[in-house]
Amino acid sequence: MPSFKIFDVAGSGLSAQSVRLNTVASNLANADSVSGDPSTVYKARHPVFQAVQAAMGAAAGAATNGEPNAAVRVAGIVESNAAPTVRYEPGNPLADAAGNVYAPNVNVIEEMTDMISASRAYQNDVDVMNTSKDLMLATLKLGQ
């Protein structure tokens, strides 16, 4: 039934925003970690979303009935290539021979902003699902 496709679209959005929230949480959890080697320091990660259109219903074997199918999926997670922050801490046990430690390139303010944005997008998808459910129930009550 084509009217249920809204749940597929909103569900794919929920899944994508969940991945986004998990990557933000990972970035924030590692924001204060340090390393003695710049190549082993934590690098911020960000999901890459991809719009999926028209092939979603056809791939599942469903009839499209001329209606466009749409969804979003996570195409991958990329690591930032920004240089790590260098700090001079000769007393740190992880410091290299020059007394430097390397901190990740995680910007906490950007991550918090991204978290708020992902949280709101997730809530919007939940609201879409709830509104669709309420409208379908109201439509079914018309026949009583």
Each residue of 6-37: pLDDT tens digit?
898 899 999 999 999 999 999 999 999 999 99
Among residues 46, 50, 41, the alpha carbon closest in space to that of 23 is found at 46
What mean pLDDT is predicted for residues 48-65? 64
Q: HEC string of 76-94?
A: EEEECCCCCEEEECCCCCC
Checking phi first, is residue 54 left (phi over 0); if not, alpha (psi -120 to 50) or beta?
A: left
The predicted model scores a pTM of: 0.80
Sorted by where each begins, the domain ranges of the chain are 2-142
Tell me the Ramachandran region of residue 76: left when phi exceeds 0, alpha when psi lies from -120 to 50, beta otherwise: left
Phi, psi angles (nearest 5°) of residue 46:
-140, 135
Give just the sign of the alpha carbon dihedral 35, 39, 108, 87. positive
Rounded distance, CA 30 to CA 104, Å?
8
| Per-residue pLDDT tens digits for 62-118 | 545 544 578 899 999 999 999 999 999 999 999 999 999 999 999 999 999 999 999
The answer to whether the CB of 129 falls within 8 A of the CB of 69 is: no
Q: Measure the CA–CA gap between 27 and 83, rounded to whole angstroms.
A: 15
Q: Which residues contact 38 (CB under 8 A, 6 or more apart)?
A: 83, 84, 86, 102
